[in-house]
Amino acid sequence: MVLAMHMSDGLVNAPTAAAFGLIAVIGLALAVSRARADLDDRTAPMAGLVTAFVFAVQMINFPILPGASGHLLGGALVAILVGPWVGSLCIAIVLAVQALLFADGGLTALGTNVVNMALVGVFVGYGVAVAMRGLARRSRAGLLATAFVAALVNTVVAAMVFVLQYAIGGDGVTSIGTVFGLMVGLHLLIGIGEGVITAATVGAVASVRPDLVHLLRGAPPSLELRGTGGAAAGSAT
C-alpha cells in the first residue's frame, strides 16, 4: 500500500468516509458563510493566485520512504495570506479538482481529504500563526519564522489526523504503528520543505504588498516589512 496525504477510495470503510464527509460539508458550509467578510478587492485575486499555486505544488509527490510518498499541503500558506475561512475553501477547491480531473485522491475519500488538509491543516496553521503574530509583526525575520513554524506544524498535525482516520476505519492491511511511523516521519520531513516554501512565498508577498498578507492586517507600520514601494504592513482592511 502506498501511503500519501491524499486518501484513496477504499482506504477507510464507508461509515468512516461518510462521517468525515459530513464533517467536511459542515466545515465548508461554515467557511462559505464566514469567508464573505474576508473577501474584497484585494483578497479575491490573492485567493485565486494561492489556489493555483497550491494546486501546482500539490501535484508534485515526493517518494521519501519505501511504500510511502507525500506532497506539500499549503494550509499555513493560504491561512496566512487570505485567512482561514477563504483559505479552507481554496484548498477544498484544489482537492475537488484533483479528485475529479486527475484521480488524485478518491471521490469517496474526498471528505477525509478535505478534513485533513482544507480544515485541520488550514486552521492549525492559522492557529500557530496567530499565536506567533506578535513576532511576525515585529520584523521580516519574525514573519518568516512564523510562516515556517506554522507550515511545519500544520503538515505534521494533518498527517496525524490521517493516522486517526485510518485507525478508525482503515482496511487493516498495514498496522497502525507502521502507518504512524511512515506518515508522521514522512511529513515531518515534508513539513520542513513546506516551511521553507511558505516562508519564502509569504516573505515575497510581504516585501511588495504587506497589505495583502491577512496575518499582518492591523499591524503598525514596520520598516522591516516595507516593500520597495514603501507600502507599510497592516493597512486598513
pLDDT value of residue 6 = 65
Which of 186, 38, 230, 64 minimizes the C-alpha distance to 122?
Answer: 38
Residue type, 84: P
Which of 101, 121, 125 minimizes the C-alpha distance to 112?
Answer: 121
CB 124 within 8 A of CB 187: no
Q: So where are the chain's domains?
A: 14-225
CB 215 within 8 A of CB 199: no
126 has pLDDT over 80: yes
Q: CA 96 to CA 208: how far, in whole Å?
A: 31
- Spell 193-217 as b/e; 16+ CB within 10 A means b: bbbebbbebbbebbbebbbbbbbbb
Q: Please report which confidence band the pLDDT of residue 220 belongs to, taking 50, 70 and 90 as the band edges.
A: low
CATH of 14-225, one of 3.30.499.10, 3.40.228.10, 2.170.150.20, 1.10.1760.20: 1.10.1760.20
The pLDDT tens digits for 65-124 are 444 456 778 999 999 999 999 999 999 999 998 888 876 667 888 999 999 999 999 999
Residues ≥6 apart with Cβ < 8 Å to 204: none
Residues ≥6 apart with Cβ < 8 Å to 217: 211, 234, 235, 237
Across 53-57, 204-208, 222-226, the highest mean pLDDT is recorded for 204-208
**φ and ψ at residue 170, rounded to 5 degrees:** -70, 165
pLDDT value of residue 70 = 64
The pLDDT tens digits for 182-195 are 888 888 888 898 89
pLDDT mean over 225-230? 44
Regarding predicted confidence, which is higher, 72 or 222?
72
Q: Please report which confidence band the pLDDT of residue 230 belongs to, taking 50, 70 and 90 as the band edges.
A: very low
The pLDDT tens digits for 129-184 are 999 999 999 999 999 999 999 999 999 999 899 889 989 988 777 788 888 888 88
Indicate the average pLDDT of the chain: 83
Three cell numbers written together for 72: 506539500
